[in-house]
A and B are shown apart, each in its own frame.
Chain A
Amino acid sequence: MRGFHGSQNRSRAPKDLGEPPDPSRRLVVMLGGAVAAAGVLGWRLFNWHVQQSAELSARGASSLLIRSEITPRRGSILDRDEAVLAISRGAVRVVADPLAIHESTDPFEVADRLSGILNLDAAGVAERLGNPNLRYSEIARGLVDEPARAVSEAIQSGQLPGIRLDPDRVRVYPNQELAAHVLGFVGEGTARPGDVVGQAGVEAWYNDVLGGQSGLVSSDLDRLGRRIPIGRYALQPPRHGAHVSLSIDRTIQHIAEQELEAAIEQFGATAGTILITNPRTGELLGLANRPTYDPGRVHTYREFGPEFANRACNLIYEPGSTFKLITMAAGLDVGAIRPETTHNLPGTVDYFGQEFKNWDERTYPEQTMVSVLQHSSNTGTIFVADTIGANTFYEYIARFGFGARTGIDMAGEVSGIVRRRGDQGWFLPDLASNSFGQGISVTPLQLATAVGSIANDGVMMRPHVAREVQHADGRREKIESEPIRRVVSRETAQTLIKMMEAAESGVLDNLARVPGYRTAGKTGTSEIASSGRFLEDTSIASYIGFGPLELPQVLALVIVERPQAAFFGAHVASPTFSRVMSRVFAHLRVPPR
């Protein structure tokens, strides 16, 4: 290496600034610096590539691997003609990628715009966009129509960076309130947020069938949340939910809704139920309750009020005189009485220290058992119960299914309250009051099922509302009707039906009569117990009956609660029964007599 200050320097006399350093020394310094820098870098590379490799690649493997569930399509609920009663519809869910928003723009600006479109609270939206550690934050779900389109347009025009629309579904009930209590409604499940779970009725009972099974996608995502094409990707497709078709006939359902509405309006009642079944199969053909609700708009109700109760099987009442059919059937079946058995029907009777009256407090001497039904005599029914004895009476109560759930395939069924001999709180006079349907609480469905067994030659059928499950793979699974048990003999059933028919034909101006058809039934007027006392001047008026008697295929129970304009079942419920049956027979093309 040569010197740095060459020959050129000699021409000019340098000031005394000291000798320049040996330039090769400075080169050595630079070399040293370079080697040191390379050493630090090399050490760092070794550290990351070799020493920390396992940990870092594991971090990379987990950092942006997204596992997302694919929501299965929830099956529809159909009526018996496969008309849609409930269906899931495609919707969108507004989802934010907070990290992407932070990378590209101001989260508050996005929150402002988005909350403007969706009519949401801007601060709430900003909060959900605020955490840059998140890749997923849900802003709104179940959007359809206009708001969905508005958001979609805003995204396409680039106003909402980091916001995307994910597919979502909403549950639609195209007939609004029709069969609301049968269908039930859906809501968000508690197990995992975002789950759609049936909360009542068929939606709840068949939730697993309707709901299907989620699929799963897992994939590596890039920094904008898109899938990396050469990254890991796995898809497990969802199993879509099955369709459930019901035994409900939407025309019969409509008749039930309409007639119940009319009766409630006519008599100024507060509530009511019409239950229409096929006693030969146990199928529910129609079930209407008032008050009612719109299952598609459940989120708009401020509280879980009485309109949500399915009065047919979630609430209990005292059945009153309709229950005399049960006592009578028990008496006939054990042979204690026959239709022509006669007995005095005193206006009042003292039974183990408690006084019981006929509704009209009149005495009918030497009357047949048909007259007991015709006059709806309490004292006559007490005679029957007393004759067969408490043990036998309560055995029949149990055989008819009271005090136990029927097993209907709707959520929330209750079992009613029956106190038997020997139970705490049971006293001897209770046999008398129970015999005509007081002091005993049943569901309308229990009564309809029990009376249905009489219409079905003594065999009680399990009530059910679903007829068929159509799986997503096309498989159809029928839900067969099944008997619960034989309750009374065929002869008993047929004898009782004849008695009912005879009793009704003896009633002058029977409003329950169905023109052109033979039907049999029984009125009921129960007083309403409140705080241990019966309320004056108000009742639960009911009528249960079936027909045509040649081969009963329709049973209807009409219950009108607290009618103001009239009091007795014969005046309030009977005319409704008549109209319901006429229209149902016509719809089913049941040939008139």
Chain B
Amino acid sequence: MSTRTGQWFTGRLPSWPARDPYLLLLTFILPLGGVVLVASARVPVVLAGDSVFERVSVQQMVLAGVGVALALGLSAVDYRRYARIAPIGLAGVLIALVGVLFVEDATSLFAARRWFRVGGLTVQPSEFAKVAMVVMLAALAQHYAGRIREMRVSILVMGGVVAVVVLPIVLEPDLGAAITIAFVGFVVIFAAGARLWHLLLGFAALVPVALISVSQNAYQRERLFTFLSGDPDVTRTGYQAAQAQIAMGSGGITGRGLGLGTQKFRLPIPDSDAVFAVLGEEFGFVGTGLVLVLFLALFVRGIQIAAATDDVFGRLLAIGIVTQLCFQAFVNMAVVTGLTPVTGITLPFISRGGSSLLASMIMMGILMNVARQSDLGRRE
């Protein structure tokens, strides 16, 4: 992989601080919103007798600070360096992804094995797998730049990377995350210029995997049928959707005010999957609309950066990163608003969860570096 032009860029511009005002704003405002909403969603725990500075809220605060620092730091690192270490990174997360399947006392929820416990923290390898996969795909697209129209490259090589990342996640089982990651992979391959019918073929290969997963996991079936039945009251997942809907409606246009929502006492995981519903109740249409616009803005900015980057690696990195962040956000919001079946997808930056937040901030850091080396960055 040639990096001659990259070195030229690095030499010409001061590498820090990051300059893109949109990305900078998002880098600060999204995790900050997360800190506030997680603290609000933890109100039931505090009222049940825990300290005001209870563990999860404080952890979120600290990780947000670490994350912002990490993003700003990474924005100074030339993204081209990642192309070389991409295979190593991918191998690392694959080992972790397989390893988590064999952890006996991995923190389990719905009998799924998704987390490592490290000290007092839990680490979710699939969050970092998202980063590694995007970087790997971008690197491969750059490497096979002229041959992307070949099925061998688009499906066997790049699609194969997607598959090895997704399969262990399916086995955890975490079908929601697997589908999200697979989708992002396909978007990157698509953006790289692969033929559409190759993509369709690859997609078709993944359908049986999803079907087998659904047939093997009772809770996935339950969620799917609840969604298809349209009846919000028959099961606990229907209950979750119904409570989220009430939260949204109760919020109205401007919301009840920070901390004043009561639905978080009824929503199953108010600080994580359902944090968007807490936002909806406490800040109303204004709050949820703003978050929607912020993620849309992130996506649009990412596309702009990609369009202004002439190197394939950077271009696909930008696309992969914003697709990863925004598609996951979209799925989370769609779940909360009952547009898709319930999956355990968190809202990036905002939901409780260190792995997710750090992985998201790493992606923001990489994106900011791509931005500053793009035409957009140079114009400033």
User: Could you list which residues of chain A lie within 8 angstroms of chain B, going by C-beta atoms?
Assistant: 1-2, 4-6, 8-9, 12, 14-15, 17-18, 20-21, 23-24, 26-27, 30-31, 34-35, 37-38, 40-42, 44-46, 48-50, 52-57, 59-60, 63-64, 99, 102-103, 132-133, 220, 222-223, 228-231
Besides A18-B149, A31-B299, A64-B266, 4 new A-B residue pairs in contact (Cβ under 8 A), listed by A number:
A6-B312, A41-B292, A48-B280, A223-B268
Q: Could you say which residues of chain A place their CB within 8 Å of the CB of B187?
A: 30
A9-B193 Cα distance, complex, nearest whole Å: 14
Q: Is A59 within 8 A of B191, CB to CB?
A: no
Is B280 a contact of A49 with CB atoms below 8 Å?
A: yes
Q: Is the CB of A102 within 8 A of B236?
A: yes
Whether B323 contacts A30 by the Cβ 8 Å rule is yes
Binds A, one of B12-20, B110-118, B140-148: B140-148
List the B residue with the shortest CB-CB distance to A59: B246
Q: Which of B276-335 contact A (CB under 8 A)?
A: 280, 284-285, 288-289, 292-293, 295-296, 299-300, 303, 306-308, 310-312, 315, 319, 323, 326, 330, 333-334
Kindly specify which of B88-96, B248-256, B349-357, B363-371 makes contact with the partner chain: B248-256
Q: Is the beta-carbon distance between A38 and B262 smaller than 8 angstroms? A: no
Asked if B82 CB lies within 8 Å of chain A CBs, one says: no
CB of B228 within 8 A of chain A? no
State the main secondary structure of chain A at its contact with B: helix
How distant is B370 from chain A, measured CB to nearest CB, in Å? 14
Which residues in A have their C-beta under 8 angstroms from that of B323?
Answer: 30
Bound together, the chains give a CA A8 to CA B143 distance in angstroms of 9
> Given A133-B233, A223-B266, A230-B260, is A31 in contact with B303 using a C-beta cutoff of 8 Å?
yes
Contact A38 B284 (CB under 8 A): no
Chain B, 234-263, contact with A by CB distance < 8 Å: what is the 0/1 string? Answer: 111001000101111111110000001011
Given contacts A48-B245, A56-B249, contact A4 B312 (CB under 8 A): yes
A48 contacts B145, CB within 8 Å?
Answer: no
Contact among B44, B253, B300 with A49 in the assembled complex (CB-CB below 8 Å): B253
Chain A residues with CB under 8 Å of B145's CB are 5-6, 8-9
Cα distance, A30 to B43, chains bound together (Å): 39
Asked if residues B148 and A20 are in contact (CB atoms below 8 Å), the reply is yes
- The residue among A14, A15, A37 with the most chain B CB atoms within 10 A of its own CB is A37
**CB pair B337 A12 closer than 8 Å:** no
Whether B62 is near chain A, meaning CB under 8 Å from some CB there, is no
Residues of B within 8 A of A12 (CB): 146-147
Scoring B252, B323, B338 by chain A CB atoms within 10 A of each residue's CB, the highest score goes to: B252
Expressed in whole angstroms, the minimum distance between the Cβ of A110 and any Cβ of chain B is: 16
The distance from the CB of B356 to the nearest CB of chain A, in whole angstroms, is: 20
Partner of A228 from B236, B262, B280, B284 at Cβ < 8 Å: B262
Residue-by-residue, is B64-90 near A (CB-CB < 8 Å gives 1, otherwise 0)?
000000000000000000000000000
Pick from B191, B250, B268: contact of A60, CB under 8 Å: B250
Given contacts A6-B311, A17-B150, A222-B44, contact A49 B303 (CB under 8 A): no
User: Chain A residue with minimal CB distance to B247?
Assistant: A60
A37 to B337, CA, bound (A): 13
**Which A residues are CB-close (under 8 A) to B266?**
64, 222-223
CB-nearest residue of chain B to A26: B191
Bound CA–CA A489/B278 (angstroms):
87
The answer to whether B190 touches A6 (Cβ under 8 A) is no
- Smallest beta-carbon distance A428→chain B, Å: 79
**A49 CB contacts on chain B under 8 angstroms:** 248-249, 251-253, 280, 284-285, 288
Measured between C-beta atoms, what is the minimum distance from B316 to chain A in Å?
A: 10
B236–A103 touching, CB < 8 Å: yes
Chain A residues within an 8 Å CB radius of B47:
229-230
Contacts of B337 in A (CB 8 A): 41, 44-45, 48
- Check A34 against B299 for contact (C-beta < 8 Å): yes
Known contacts A17-B150, A57-B252, A63-B246; is-contact A4 B193 (Cβ 8 Å): yes
B339 to chain A, nearest CB (A): 6
User: Are A53 and B149 in contact, CB atoms less than 8 angstroms apart?
Assistant: no
Asked if B225 CB lies within 8 Å of chain A CBs, one says no
- The smallest beta-carbon distance between B47 and chain A, in angstroms, is 4
Considering the chains assembled together, what is the distance between the CA atoms of A327 and B142 in angstroms? 127
* Contact between chains at A45 and B265 (CB < 8 Å): no
B250: min CB distance to chain A, Å: 4
User: Can you give 23 contacting A-B residue pairs, CB < 8 Å?
Assistant: A2-B310, A5-B146, A12-B147, A15-B150, A17-B150, A27-B307, A31-B303, A34-B299, A42-B289, A45-B285, A48-B249, A49-B285, A53-B249, A56-B250, A60-B247, A60-B262, A60-B263, A132-B235, A223-B239, A223-B266, A228-B44, A228-B265, A231-B265
- Of the candidates A26, A56, A102, the one whose C-beta lies within 8 Å of that of B248 is A56
Q: Does B2 contact A (CB under 8 A)?
A: yes
When chains A and B are docked, how far (Å) is the Cα of A15 from the Cα of B239? 56
Chain A residues, Cβ within 8 Å of B260 = 230
B229 to chain A, nearest CB (A): 14
Q: In the assembled complex, which residues on chain B have CB atoms less than 8 Å from the CB atom of A220? A: 262, 265
Please determine whether B326 and A44 come into contact, CB atoms closer than 8 angstroms.
Answer: no
Are A57 and B310 within 8 A (Cβ)?
Answer: no
> Shortest 6 CB-CB distances between A and B: which pairs?
A56-B249, A49-B285, A60-B246, A17-B149, A222-B265, A9-B146
State A18–B146 Cα separation when bound (angstroms).
11
A51 to chain B, nearest CB (A): 9
CB distance from B212 to the nearest CB of A (A): 26
Contact of B191 among A30, A38, A54, A231 (CB under 8 A): A30
